[in-house]
């Protein structure tokens, strides 16, 4: 996602400085397109007035911002940090408070859609920001987003993103089981897909899973099972802290966590449709019933 965001910023002739996370392929693309790579966060911070973060979780965001080599120490007063990661709201709010004490702006702007759409400038940003900072952030986000939606103060963007992701991943968990169910009772997946497409049950997630299993789109839904598990786990945690019962989402989170524990975490989300849980704690087989009228 970070590579796609960077490509879109460069297309707008924005001077881009970056610090790579893990993969070299994206970093090499950005330097080849004219971006400036830095070996440390501290060095990068001294060259920019705004930073866009695209990281796996709040843990990495906190690591980049805090500490003696972090953004909070080395960025100039008045600078802005935009967190486009899917982070935990409480962490986001705490970071924003610390940033303000240092004369910095920190807002949340998690994004939806794919890395490919990031490169085309077609992401959707869900922004949590005060009214003063939002116009500045909107100008930056517009370089790689089709829609920039201001949803409230800091933290609200990440709350909405977790609610959104929980629905997406919950549907994915159901789609995975339905595909396995169909296979187990000899229902043709092509026929099932055609039927689903014609009704209100249809979803892009199910269609993506079907296309993956049929070999039509092997790279569809490139998010990993581990990252999906992290997101829905955060959503369930947020619901619990707010005293909102979400037993179905909790069950979906359990399914993904079992897949991660079984070593499937680095596979993409559609691989969940090939993963079979060997046991279910607390679930019993339904009692046998007689046919109606028997």
CA distance 6 to 10: 6
- Per the structure, the count of domains in the chain is 2
Give the domain range for residue 32: 2-153
pLDDT at 284: 37
Check whether residue 6 and residue 140 sit in a common domain: yes
Tell me if 280 is assigned to some domain. no
Check whether residue 231 and residue 114 sit in a common domain: no
Check whether residue 246 and residue 270 sit in a common domain: yes
Q: CA 178 from chain center: how many Å?
A: 24
CA distance 113 to 118: 8
Check whether residue 7 and residue 147 sit in a common domain: yes
Check whether residue 14 and residue 149 sit in a common domain: yes
Q: CA 28 from chain center: how many Å?
A: 23
CATH, residue 191: 1.10.1040.10
Tell me if 76 is assigned to some domain. yes
pLDDT at 287: 38
Check whether residue 187 and residue 93 sit in a common domain: no
pLDDT at 280: 47
Provide the sign of the torsion angle of the four alpha carbons 211, 213, 214, 218, taken in this order: positive
Closest residue by Cα to residue 40 from 23, 57, 64: 64
Instruction: Indicate the SS3 state at residue 252.
Output: helix
Check whether residue 145 and residue 164 sit in a common domain: no
pLDDT at 286: 37
Check whether residue 36 and residue 164 sit in a common domain: no
Report phi then psi at 193, rounded to 5: -60, -40
Tell me if 86 is assigned to some domain. yes
CATH, residue 113: 3.40.50.720
Tell me if 293 is assigned to some domain. no
Check whether residue 140 and residue 189 sit in a common domain: no
pLDDT at 51: 97
pLDDT at 285: 36
Residue that terminates a domain, selected from 153, 176, 209: 153
Question: Tens of pLDDT along the chain (294 residues)?
Answer: 889 999 999 999 999 999 887 777 888 999 999 999 999 999 999 999 999 999 989 999 999 999 899 999 999 999 999 999 999 999 999 999 999 999 999 999 999 998 889 999 999 999 999 999 999 999 999 999 999 999 999 999 999 999 999 999 999 999 999 999 999 999 999 999 999 999 999 999 999 999 999 999 998 888 899 999 999 999 999 999 999 999 999 999 999 999 999 999 999 999 999 988 664 444 333 333 333 333
Tell me if 115 is assigned to some domain. yes
Tell me if 244 is assigned to some domain. yes
Residue that terminates a domain, selected from 103, 121, 153: 153
Instruction: Indicate the SS3 state at residue 43.
Output: helix
The residues, any chain, with a CB within 8 Å of residue 291's CB and separated by 6 or more, are none
| Concatenated DSSP letters of 192-215 | HHHHHHTSTT--HHHHHHHHHHTT
Residue that terminates a domain, selected from 97, 124, 153: 153
Check whether residue 7 and residue 116 sit in a common domain: yes
pLDDT at 210: 97
Tell me if 65 is assigned to some domain. yes
pLDDT at 278: 62
Tell me if 286 is assigned to some domain. no
Check whether residue 47 and residue 111 sit in a common domain: yes
Check whether residue 218 and residue 81 sit in a common domain: no
């Amino acid at each position: 996602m970070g590579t796609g965001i960077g490509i879109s910023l460069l297309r707008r002739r924005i001077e881009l400085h970056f610090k790579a996370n893990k993969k070299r392929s994206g970093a090499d693309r950005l330097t080849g397109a004219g971006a400036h790579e830095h070996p440390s966060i501290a060095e990068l911070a001294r060259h920019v007035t705004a930073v866009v973060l695209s990281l796996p979780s709040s843990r990495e965001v906190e690591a980049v911002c805090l500490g003696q080599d972090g953004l909070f120490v080395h960025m100039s007063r008045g600078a802005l940090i935009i967190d486009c990661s899917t982070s935990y709201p409480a962490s986001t709010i705490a970071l924003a408070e610390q940033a303000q004490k240092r004369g910095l702006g920190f807002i949340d702007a998690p994004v939806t859609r794919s890395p490919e759409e990031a490169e085309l400038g077609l992401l959707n940003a869900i922004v949590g920001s005060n009214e003063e900072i939002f116009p500045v952030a909107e100008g930056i986000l517009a370089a790689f987003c089709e829609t920039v939606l201001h949803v409230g103060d800091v933290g609200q963007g990440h709350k909405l993103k977790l609610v959104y992701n929980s629905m997406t991943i919950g549907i994915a968990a159901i789609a995975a089981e339905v595909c396995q169910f169909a296979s187990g009772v000899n229902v043709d997946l092509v026929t099932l897909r055609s039927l689903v497409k014609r009704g209100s049950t249809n979803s892009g997630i199910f269609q993506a899973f079907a296309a993956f299993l049929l070999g039509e789109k092997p790279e569809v839904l490139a998010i990993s099972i581990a990252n999906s598990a992290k997101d829905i786990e955060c959503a369930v945690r947020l619901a619990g802290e707010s005293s909102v019962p979400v037993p179905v989402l909790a069950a979906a989170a359990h399914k993904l966590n079992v897949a991660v524990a079984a070593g499937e975490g680095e596979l993409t989300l559609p691989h969940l449709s090939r993963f079979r849980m060997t046991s279910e704690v607390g679930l019993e087989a339904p009692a046998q019933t007689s046919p109606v009228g028997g």
